[in-house]
Amino acid sequence: MIMIQKLDKDFGMIFEINNNCKFFLMKYFVLFFTFFLFASCSSIRVFADHDSSIDFSKYTTFAFFKPEIDQVKISDLDKRRILKAIDAEMSIKGLSKSETPDLLIGFTTKAKEQIYINNQNNWGWGFNPWFWGSNFNSVSTRTEGTLFVNIIDAATKQLVWQGKGKGGLQENYKDRDKRIALFVQSIISNYPPTE
């Protein structure tokens, strides 16, 4: 049973709840808060595509595709972070760097500024001295970045796999190493493709 007592203390109303209900409400509050926390973090949406006629188990070595990487218009620090993260993820997948690679790995990036306009019209019942209601507009921006990881067969020079990750970016992100590593890990988790 939930008993509600009106008390004029700090917040005007205090709810008195028995122990079973407290546990029930607390459990769902924690689940909701955890879900909200993960959902509110800048999530990374991932997509991968591949050539279905390729046997990816034959690839054991890789090298970075310098001509593609040199064209990317991001800082050299971020390039090194991405290369380091790709190297680590490919090593986890069992591939090693080589001077005569089976695969060439490159990447490209794209950034898009999203502008959000929130228009709030405060109409409703009650007294309003301005009669027409108050309007409040707020504008916010967010940069959404896309990282493409391209895997090319070194012998044929054909793209055999491409992974794409989209997510929110901030130039002043506190731990860029971890954020970039998470982007790359999320993308490369789809390599090699499974049918």
Model confidence over 115-141: pLDDT tens digits?
Answer: 777 766 555 555 555 555 555 677 777
Instruction: State the pLDDT at residue 98.
Output: 96
The pTM assigned to this predicted structure is: 0.66
**1-27 burial string, b = 16+ CB within 10 Å, else e?**
eeeeeeeeeeeeeeeeeeeeeeeeeee
Mean pLDDT of 53-59: 95
Instruction: State the pLDDT at residue 14.
Output: 45
Mean pLDDT of 67-80: 93
For residue 11, pLDDT over 50 is answered with no
Instruction: State the pLDDT at residue 30.
Output: 45
In this predicted model, which residue has the larger pLDDT, 118 or 54? Answer: 54
CB 6 within 8 A of CB 13: yes
